[in-house]
Amino acid sequence: MKIQEHTVSAHNFEECMKCTVCTAYCPVLQVNPLYPGPKQAGPDGERLRLKDPYFFTTALKYCMNCKRCEVSCPSGVHVADLIQAARIKYDKSAPKLRDMMLASTDFMGRMARPFAPIVNGITSLGITKTVLDATLKIDRERTFPKYSAHGFESWLWRHSREQSAFEEQVAYYHGCYVNYNYPQLGKDLVKVLNALGVGVQLLQGEKCCGIAMITNGMSDKARKNAAKNMEALSKAVDKGLGVVTTSTTCTLTLRDEYPQLLGVDNSYVRDSINLATRFIFEKLSKGAELHFRPDFKMKVAYHVPCHLEKLGWGVFSEKLMRMIPGLEFTLLDSACCGIAGTYGFKKENYKVSQEIGAPLFEQIRLVDPDVVACDCETCKWQIEMSTGYKVMHPVSILAKALANQD
Amino acid sequence: MKFDTVIIGGGLSGLVSGISLQKAGRSTAIVSAGQNAMHFFSGSFESLTEAPERLMEIFSESGVNVHYSKGVRLMPLGTFKESSLSLEDISIFPDPAFARKVMVVNLAGYHDFFSSFIAEGLEKTGIGCRVCTIRLPELEHLRKSPSEMRSVQIARVMDRIWEKVMQEIRLMLKDEDAIVLPQVFGLQDITVPARIREVIPAKVVFTGTLPPSVPGLRTQMQLKRYYETLGGTFLMGDEVVDAHCHDGSVHSVETRNLGRHYLEADNFILATGGFFSKGLAATPQEVYETVFNLDVEYSEDRNAWYDPDFSKDQPYLDFGVKTDEALHPMRDSVTFKNLYAIGSILGSTRKEFGTASGGAILSAFHAVDKILSGK
Ligand SMILES: Cc1cc2nc3c(=O)[nH]c(=O)nc-3n(C[C@H](O)[C@H](O)[C@H](O)COP(=O)(O)OP(=O)(O)OC[C@H]3O[C@@H](n4cnc5c(N)ncnc54)[C@H](O)[C@@H]3O)c2cc1C
Ligand code: SF4
Ligand code: SF4
């Protein structure tokens, strides 16, 4: 008998019991009255949109896709997925040039890298910022991520022989950020994994995960990237390799946004994609050991990025850092820093973005740590720009605390 | 991942047990599938007839301000209800005639606070009433989407501007000896309700709004923060999806996010709440417990589950898992020796603890004592 108890609605939206809990946790709703909020934009709006697409509103673009509504919902409604899926389905307006540029992290990185010192110089100039602000509506208050002259991929290529000497191997999905902006994080990961007796190799033909394309109205392009990534990941899994990552957002995208938002079947690879911190924790709990410097001292305040909170894996980073002797650990309150990928770069969002982050910045100043730990690259930009405190990835902190091997 | 105790459910009962165990030096983790019933909390801990010392200790260490006095409190629809242990925001009166004349203050555009019902109720008890609405420019931006002008959004603004608002209210006061305000004060800054009482030259009564509950949300945040500073691991937004049991004892549980990293522990506490939080669920045929499929006490006759009169006490709210004296639940009549059921999931099956939040607290202490004494 087919009765209501057996029906499952798209993104679980019929499970919504209108309790309003999500509205208390949506960072955007607290500061931007133009945004209808998770309940209205999500399950409430979906009922109307199913009746008539007329009820779709472009105000849904204010959603940062931070997933905090989903984490707080007691009924298991995939609120943020509903909102992003509605944007994909109903928003037919062409993305702006600015949004296309911000979303093409891969392309922009490749273009900028050979000229890294020049590009970094130019994007930090007041005049450039004024021009970007006026022409592209990229807020002039933003500091730009720096481009690195030498990509991580070429570095790892050069070290591939040493890496293949290790008996155990993993493939590393490094993402655009490590390749173009911050190769040091990739090098830190290699150092820590090597200390555990694990060699690191590149995937064959990794592409940008595409999250910025999804949130900037370019889901067709994102789907193309997803297909290429599925190919690269499947090849690794065929060879029996596990895949490690250091970006929480890429990880969430590869594991959850592909099937939920793009309709890409990733079941063959999903369980093999692991955040590095989780992989390291796993090795250690199976008996592997890391040796730390006896003189290491660091006061760390840990900010769990939104997408890591959604993955539910912040606990691995926390446990790893707490393992380091000499590390004084404080867990910061669960809060959004306000950047949400490309969101905070846009002029129309800058103010909102800074207001959202304010309580977090305030708490960081209060704790006054040596270093803020955080697993997300865009949070790093935001927190460093807004507080002046240095932000390090937990993997980099581990690498720094390791005793010298020789 | 191994802990001394794993707690399933992060509502009031889960947090009180987690805090107590951490304080006793045990390592614990709380897994919680989402937020909880505290978001609908009135501010009064019902069904507590006393204020246990160790509860007061936990509250004071977490920064939760409470007071204890027997009497009645004013409800959102203008009725009165018996109360004792309450958050500091809540006023308790010896009897409903708490004032001569009251000014009920609402905020322009705010639909979740029923000022006219309150006025009607108060007039029935012989209290004179005047309803005033204040228009605040700082709240105008919220009115752009009227359905989203909710308690929490207002409270965030009030944390900044309450002093100015109180000045305005003082000017509006005539011969009233009390004012009634919606509970939208002191979300981040817990000192605000007490400071409001200092600056208003009349009794100040904060009264419930539609959810989310500002004092409930704040209390939940405070308890969770305290639990984490004690070293507890809070896994928010994760859900226990499977349990590995053997011979009447639980070995580990599996969560949706951690997958093959099973959470192992010597003891487990089930604090998943009632129907509202999905600790219990029903099909047209049966009522069941959602994690372990434990034995549940409920009526076989489906017509007896609810009272067609909506406003009456509903019998299904009494349904709960069956437990022995130590709060061990059972499945197919086999008792789980290292599992404890606490809080709303008990329904009214253990009347000695009382229901509501008082029951959640007392059953949590009971289970903690059993765990610490090794039974
Ligand atoms: C709307 C409402 C208003 C109330 N108001 C009051 C009041 O004003 N005063 C009063 O004294 N009492 C009130 N109560 C009674 C309230 O139930 C108790 O006071 C108390 O808060 C219950 O706490 P609890 O920890 O048992 O359950 P809950 O607070 O319900 O928490 C249970 C938690 O377990 C989680 N959970 C469920 N299944 C799983 C799973 N499989 N894995 C992981 N986590 C899971 C849920 O997501 C939830 O977070 C109210 C109850 C409701 C429903
Ligand atoms: S994803 Fe974040 S911004 Fe979007 S509705 Fe949910 S909580 Fe709000
Ligand atoms: S928290 Fe979940 S159930 Fe509650 S209103 Fe939001 S989507 Fe609906």
Q: What is the pLDDT of residue A128?
A: 56
Whether the CB-CB separation of A181 and A384 falls below 8 Å is answered with: no
Q: Region A201-215: what's the mean pLDDT?
A: 92
Whether the CB-CB separation of B243 and B253 falls below 8 Å is answered with: yes
Q: What is the pLDDT of residue A249?
A: 94
pLDDT of A180 above 60: yes
Mutate to test the interface with B, among A30, A251, A322, A334 (most CBs of B within 10 A): A334
Rounded-to-integer distance, Cα B290 and Cα B281, Å: 7
pLDDT digits (tens, 9 = 90+) for B65-120: 999 999 999 999 999 999 999 999 999 999 999 999 999 999 999 999 999 999 99
Query: Hey, is the C-beta of A312 within 8 angstroms of any chain B C-beta?
Result: yes
Rounded-to-integer distance, Cα B287 and Cα B295, Å: 9
Task: Determine the 3-state secondary structure of B49 from DSSP.
Answer: coil
Element containing residue A397 per DSSP (H, E):
helix A394-401
C-beta atoms surrounding B138 within 10 Å? 13
Q: What is the pLDDT of residue B50?
A: 86
C-beta atoms surrounding A33 within 10 Å? 17
Same topology for domains A2-90 and A291-401, yes or no?
A: no
Query: Hey, is the C-beta of A242 within 8 angstroms of any chain B C-beta?
Result: no
Q: For Cα atoms A320, A189, A364, give the angle at the middle one, nearest 5 degrees.
A: 55
Whole-number average pLDDT of chain A: 88
Q: Please give the DSSP secondary-structure letter assigned to residue B267.
A: E
Element containing residue A300 per DSSP (H, E):
strand A298-302
pLDDT digits (tens, 9 = 90+) for B312-366: 989 999 999 999 999 999 999 999 999 999 999 999 999 888 888 999 999 999 9
pLDDT of A281 above 90: yes
Q: What is the pLDDT of residue B1?
A: 93
Q: What is the pLDDT of residue A302?
A: 98
- Measured between alpha carbons, how far is residue A326 from residues A296, A303, A366, B365 in Å? 5, 19, 21, 36
The CATH fold of domain B2-41+217-372: FAD/NAD(P)-binding domain (3.50.50)
> Which range among A208-222, A254-268, A270-284 shows the weakest confidence by mean pLDDT?
A208-222
Q: Would the CB atoms of B284 and A76 count as touching at under 8 Å?
A: no
Residues of chain B within CATH 3.40.50 domain(s) are: 67-210
- If you write DSSP's letter for every residue of B128-152 in order, what string do you get? EEEEEEE--HHHHGGGGSGGG--HH
Rounded-to-integer distance, Cα B363 and Cα B153, Å: 34
**pLDDT category, A5, cuts 50, 70, 90?**
low
In this complex, the residue of B228, B259, B261 whose CB is nearest that of residue A331 is B228
Looking from the CA of residue A336, the nearest atom of ligand 2 is: 2
Whether the CB-CB separation of A22 and A39 falls below 8 Å is answered with: yes
Closest-CA distance, A114 to chain B, in angstroms, reads 40
Helix A183-195 and helix A394-401, axial crossing angle in degrees, nearest 10: 50
Q: What is the pLDDT of residue B366?
A: 97
Closest CA to A345 of A144, A84, A121: A144
Q: Would the CB atoms of A72 and B237 count as touching at under 8 Å?
A: yes
Contacts of B283 in chain A (CB under 8 A): 5
If you count residue pairs, one on A and one on B, with CB atoms under 8 Å apart, how many are there? 99
Whole-number average pLDDT of chain B: 95
Closest CA to B152 of A16, A21, A76, A333: A21
Dihedral sign of CA atoms B197, B199, B203, B205 in order: negative
Closest-CA distance, B271 to chain A, in angstroms, reads 14
Neighbouring-strand partners of residue B8? B31, B270
CA of B31 to the centre of ligand 2 (A): 22
Q: What is the pLDDT of residue B84?
A: 92
Whether the CB-CB separation of A352 and A31 falls below 8 Å is answered with: yes
Residues of chain B within CATH 3.50.50.60 domain(s) are: 2-41+217-372
Rounded-to-integer distance, Cα A221 and Cα B203, Å: 62
The residues near B365 (Cβ < 8 Å, ≥ 6 apart) are: B16, B17, B20, B52, B54, B55
pLDDT of A140 above 80: no
Query: Hey, is the C-beta of B112 within 8 angstroms of any chain A C-beta?
Result: no
Q: What percent of chain A has pLDDT over 70?
A: 83
Global pTM exceeds 0.95: no
Q: Region A312-319: what's the mean pLDDT?
A: 97
Q: Would the CB atoms of B233 and A25 count as touching at under 8 Å?
A: no
Q: What is the pLDDT of residue B106?
A: 95
pLDDT of A142 above 80: no
Length of chain A in terms of residues written: 406
Dihedral sign of CA atoms A44, B217, B82, B93 in order: negative
Pick the CATH number of A291-401 from 1.25.40, 3.40.50, 3.30.70, 1.10.150: 3.40.50
The CATH fold of domain A2-90: Fumarate Reductase Iron-sulfur Protein; Chain B, domain 2 (1.10.1060)
Q: What is the pLDDT of residue A139?
A: 66
Whether the link from the prior residue into B215 is cis, omega within 30° of 0, is no
Q: What is the pLDDT of residue A65?
A: 92
Rounded-to-integer distance, Cα B304 and Cα B184, Å: 39
Closest CA to B319 of B344, B291, B285: B344
pLDDT of A223 above 90: yes
C-beta atoms surrounding A167 within 10 Å? 7
- If you write DSSP's letter for every residue of A221-282 in order, what string do you get? HHHHHHHHHHHHHHHHHHTT-EEEES-HHHHHIIIIIIIIII----TTTGGGEEEHHHHHHH
Closest CA to B195 of B306, B114, B88: B88
**pLDDT category, A93, cuts 50, 70, 90?**
confident
- CB-side neighbour CA atoms (13 Å) of A39: 20
Q: What is the pLDDT of residue B326?
A: 96
Contacts of B221 in chain A (CB under 8 A): 333
Q: What percent of chain B has pLDDT over 90?
A: 90
Rounded-to-integer distance, Cα B189 and Cα B222, Å: 11
**pLDDT category, A130, cuts 50, 70, 90?**
low
Helix B151-172 and helix B214-229, axial crossing angle in degrees, nearest 10: 120
pLDDT of B169 above 90: yes
Closest-CA distance, A342 to chain B, in angstroms, reads 25
Rounded-to-integer distance, Cα A111 and Cα B11, Å: 51
Cα torsion for B343, B237, B368, B358, to the nearest 10°? -30
- Measured between alpha carbons, how far is residue B334 from residues B175, B247, B288, B324, B374 in Å? 66, 9, 16, 11, 20
The residues near A102 (Cβ < 8 Å, ≥ 6 apart) are: A138, A212, A216, A342, A345, A346
Classify burial at B341, counting beta carbons within 10 Å of its beta carbon; exposed 0-12, middle 13-18, buried 19 or more. Answer: buried
> Which range among A119-128, B32-41, B44-53 shows the weakest confidence by mean pLDDT?
A119-128
Rounded-to-integer distance, Cα A181 and Cα A159, Å: 19
- CB-side neighbour CA atoms (13 Å) of A119: 17
**pLDDT category, B311, cuts 50, 70, 90?**
confident
Q: Would the CB atoms of B39 and A73 count as touching at under 8 Å?
A: no
Report the first-to-last Cα separation within chain B, whole angstroms: 23
Looking from the CA of residue A72, the nearest atom of ligand 3 is: 1
Contacts of A328 in chain B (CB under 8 A): none
Q: Please give the DSSP secondary-structure letter assigned to residue B338.
A: T
Rounded-to-integer distance, Cα B273 and Cα A138, Å: 47
Query: Hey, is the C-beta of A43 within 8 angstroms of any chain B C-beta?
Result: no
Mutate to test the interface with B, among A5, A19, A73, A303 (most CBs of B within 10 A): A19
Closest-CA distance, B252 to chain A, in angstroms, reads 16
ipTM, 2 dp: 0.93
pLDDT digits (tens, 9 = 90+) for B178-234: 999 999 999 988 999 999 999 999 999 999 999 999 999 999 999 999 999 999 999
Contacts of B147 in chain A (CB under 8 A): 36, 40
Ligand 1 residue neighbourhood (C-beta within 6 Å): A 74; B 8-14, 31-38, 40-42, 44-46, 239-240, 271-273, 276-279, 290-291, 343-344, 356-357, 360
pLDDT digits (tens, 9 = 90+) for B224-270: 999 999 999 999 999 999 999 998 999 999 999 999 899 999 999 99
Q: Is A68 in the pocket of ligand 2 (CB under 6 A)?
A: yes
Closest-CA distance, B34 to chain A, in angstroms, reads 4
Q: Would the CB atoms of B152 and A23 count as touching at under 8 Å?
A: yes
Q: Region A258-277: what's the mean pLDDT?
A: 96
Whether the CB-CB separation of A183 and A59 falls below 8 Å is answered with: no
What is the 3-state secondary structure of A80-114?
A: HHHHHHHHHHHCCCCCCHHHHHHHCHHHHHHHHHH
Q: What is the pLDDT of residue A33?
A: 82
Rounded-to-integer distance, Cα B33 and Cα A385, Å: 34
Question: What CATH architecture applies to the domain B67-210?
Answer: 3-Layer(aba) Sandwich (3.40)
Q: Would the CB atoms of A318 and B1 count as touching at under 8 Å?
A: no
C-alpha gyration radius of chain B: 22
Q: What is the pLDDT of residue A339?
A: 80
CA of B336 to the centre of ligand 1 (A): 23
Domain range annotation of chain A: 2-90, 291-401
In this complex, the residue of B40, B145, B236 whose CB is nearest that of residue A309 is B236
Classify burial at A325, counting beta carbons within 10 Å of its beta carbon; exposed 0-12, middle 13-18, buried 19 or more. Answer: exposed
Tell the residue number behind the tokens 């999931």, with chain if given. Answer: B345
Whether the CB-CB separation of A173 and A206 falls below 8 Å is answered with: yes
Q: What is the pLDDT of residue A317?
A: 98
Q: Which amino acid is at B212?
A: P
Q: Would the CB atoms of A334 and B236 count as touching at under 8 Å?
A: yes
Biggest distance spanned by C-alpha atoms of chain B: 71
